């Protein structure tokens, strides 16, 4: 067959697959995607590959603006930082150090953080797995950053003892460390089960004391016993990462701090270590639900002090007050009734309040939400929220309306 004809066939196939992928990306249902491919007469093995590609493209778009050009693996994409979080971290590193000529990215994965850092300074990126580092190299080319990064394929546990590697990173003045958060049984929140374990920072400190470590958001913060600050970060109302800041990244050299930050607003609050005398009261005119990063970081009392609010219970992450407070850190609900959580009483109150459309929340108490959805039904046009929680140690149902 003439080369020109082969070339034309390849172009046709490329555009055919490109259009097919676009069609699949617009189809939310996985079964429908499979059905489309089967109708096109595609082989079973190829169907699985295409479905996996589409899945990664959809998930990748949530993290990277150029996801359609990038390469991913399921595990690599799951662990990768999104563009927004990586840029926040890079912004903070630059603010703390003023100048960052060189950075070391340990366990760079598919390159999410390397992309953000290489946009601003030179990066040495280490990754053990060849396929993963090949993806990272490709992704760097997507962002035209290959000149700003030097990839090293190898096991950091061995490289840390290698003289040639140590010579390569001798001018590094900060390190980003993102260990794999998987054990034999699957994902883990135990920092010493990471690969490498969190204790590996002690070896990295010989290269640079300025280290940022990304750990699982499910980690018990009070089990972190290192000389570092702990920062919990949320993005659009969802906790995404916990970061440990060592060396000059700390807020105060002489002590360790706990921080919570909300993105994209870049609002940060540092936990007050003194005992805060926050008053407790029955729910007032408004009920306030803190951003989850501030709940995770145990900054409920700090928020109460900051905004002049009360607790409804010492162990419950809801605040209350009579003033209408406008802040991205708190979701505000208008309190209508506080009553015993009996279904018939709740239903009666909902009808009296003309509330028909309902959401439910539970905090600090055990409830069967499936059963509640069947048994609690209001009548009316208004939209409401029933919160099952504790008020002064008693189980209560708080009927609210959204205050938007």
- Going by the DSSP 8-state scheme, the letter that residue 88 receives in this structure is H
The Cα–Cα gap between 308 and 320 comes to 9
pLDDT at 142 over 90: yes
Q: What is the pLDDT of residues 320-346, one digit of tens each?
A: 999 999 999 999 999 999 998 888 898
Return the residue matching tokens 């290698």: 162
**Residue 54 pLDDT:** 66
The Cα–Cα gap between 86 and 66 comes to 15
Structure tokens at 393: 């140690």
Q: What is the pLDDT of residues 146-186, one digit of tens each?
A: 999 999 999 999 999 999 999 999 989 999 999 988 655 56
Q: What is the pLDDT of residues 213-258, one digit of tens each?
A: 999 998 999 889 999 999 999 999 999 999 999 999 999 999 999 9
Q: 49 by DSSP, 3-state: which?
A: helix
pLDDT band at 9 (very low <50, low <70, confident <90, very high): very low
Q: 185 by DSSP, 3-state: which?
A: coil
Return the residue matching tokens 């970060």: 233
Phi and psi at residue 401, to the nearest 5°: -125, 145
pLDDT band at 286 (very low <50, low <70, confident <90, very high): very high
Question: What is the percentage of the chain residues whose pLDDT exceeds 90?
Answer: 58
The Cα–Cα gap between 241 and 233 comes to 5
Q: What is the pLDDT of residues 352-379, one digit of tens each?
A: 999 888 899 999 988 887 788 888 887 8
Burial of 274 (0-12, 13-18, 19+ CB in 10 A): exposed
Nearest residue to 180 (alpha-carbon basis) of 205, 200, 165: 200
Check: CB of residue 188 under 8 Å from CB of residue 152: no
Check: CB of residue 159 under 8 Å from CB of residue 132: no
pLDDT at 130 over 90: yes
Return the residue matching tokens 């970061």: 243
pLDDT at 389 over 50: yes
Helices marked H in 189-262:
201-204
Sheet with 319-321, edge to edge strand ranges: 310-311, 319-321, 286-290, 330-339, 394-402, 382-391, 355-363
pLDDT at 10 over 50: no
pLDDT at 297 over 50: yes
Question: How many beta carbons lie within 10 A of that of residue 327, not counting itself?
Answer: 16
Alpha-carbon separation of residue 143 from 22, 67, 121, 198 (angstroms): 22, 11, 14, 30
DSSP 271-327: PP-SPP---B-S--SEEEEE-HHHHHTT-HHHHHHHHT-EESSTTS--EEESS----
pLDDT band at 390 (very low <50, low <70, confident <90, very high): very high
- For 22, the enclosing helix (H) or strand (E) is helix 3-25
**Residue 14 pLDDT:** 43
The Cα–Cα gap between 298 and 317 comes to 9
pLDDT at 86 over 60: yes
**Residue 5 pLDDT:** 40
**Residue 370 pLDDT:** 79
24 Cβ neighbours under 8 A, 6+ residues apart: 33, 36, 37, 50, 51, 54
Structure tokens at 338: 């506080």
**Residue 371 pLDDT:** 81
Nearest residue to 126 (alpha-carbon basis) of 63, 172, 65: 172
Q: 255 by DSSP, 3-state: which?
A: strand
The Cα–Cα gap between 250 and 227 comes to 9
Check: CB of residue 302 under 8 Å from CB of residue 272: yes
Region of 393 on the Ramachandran plot (φ > 0 left; ψ -120 to 50 alpha; else beta): left
Its pTM stands at: 0.85
144 Cβ neighbours under 8 A, 6+ residues apart: none
pLDDT at 67 over 90: no
What angle do helix axes 44-61 and 3-25 make, rounded to 10 degrees? 60
State the virtual CA torsion across 316, 364, 387, 293 in degrees, nearest 10: 60
Give the residues across from 245 on adjacent strands.
212, 229
Q: What is the pLDDT of residues 29-64, one digit of tens each?
A: 667 666 666 666 667 767 666 666 666 777 777 788
């Amino acid at each position: 067959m003439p080369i020109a004809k082969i070339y034309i066939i390849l172009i046709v196939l490329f555009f055919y697959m490109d259009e097919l992928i676009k069609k699949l990306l617009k189809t939310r249902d996985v079964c429908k995607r499979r059905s489309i491919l089967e109708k096109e007469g595609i082989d079973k093995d190829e169907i699985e590959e295409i479905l996996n590609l589409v899945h990664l493209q959809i998930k990748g778009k949530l993290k990277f603006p150029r996801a359609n050009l990038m390469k991913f693996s399921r595990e690599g994409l799951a662990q990768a930082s999104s563009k927004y979080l990586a840029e926040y971290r890079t912004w903070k590193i630059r603010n703390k150090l003023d100048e960052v000529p060189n950075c070391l990215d340990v366990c760079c994965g598919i390159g999410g953080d390397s992309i953000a850092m290489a946009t601003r300074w030179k990066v040495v990126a280490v990754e053990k797995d060849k396929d993963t580092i090949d993806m990272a190299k490709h992704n760097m080319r997507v962002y035209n950053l290959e000149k700003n990064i030097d990839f090293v394929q190898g096991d950091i546990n061995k490289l840390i003892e290698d003289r040639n590697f140590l010579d390569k990173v001798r001018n590094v003045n900060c390190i980003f460390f993102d260990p794999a958060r998987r054990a034999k049984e699957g994902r883990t929140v135990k920092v010493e089960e990471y690969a490498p374990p969190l204790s590996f920072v002690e070896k990295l400190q010989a290269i640079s004391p300025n280290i940022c470590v990304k750990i699982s958001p499910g980690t018990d913060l009070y089990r972190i016993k290192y000389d570092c600050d702990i920062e919990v970060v949320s993005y659009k109302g969802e906790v995404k990462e916990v970061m440990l800041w060592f060396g000059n990244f700390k807020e105060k050299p002489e002590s360790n701090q706990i921080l919570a930050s909300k993105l994209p607003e870049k609002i940060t609050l540092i936990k007050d270590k003194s005992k805060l005398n926050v008053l407790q009261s029955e729910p007032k005119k408004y009920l306030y639900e803190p951003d989850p990063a501030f709940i995770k970081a145990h900054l409920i009392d700090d928020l109460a002090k900051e905004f002049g609010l009360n607790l409804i219970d010492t162990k419950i992450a809801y605040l209350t007050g009579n003033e209408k407070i406008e802040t991205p850190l708190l979701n505000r609900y208008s309190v209508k009734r506080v009553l015993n959580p009996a279904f018939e009483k709740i239903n009666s109150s909902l009808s009296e309040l003309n509330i028909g459309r309902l959401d439910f929340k539970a905090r600090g108490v055990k409830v069967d939400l499936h059963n509640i959805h069947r048994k609690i039904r209001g009548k009316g046009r208004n939209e409401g929220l029933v919160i099952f929680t504790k008020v002064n140690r008693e189980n209560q149902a708080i009927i609210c309306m959204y205050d938007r």
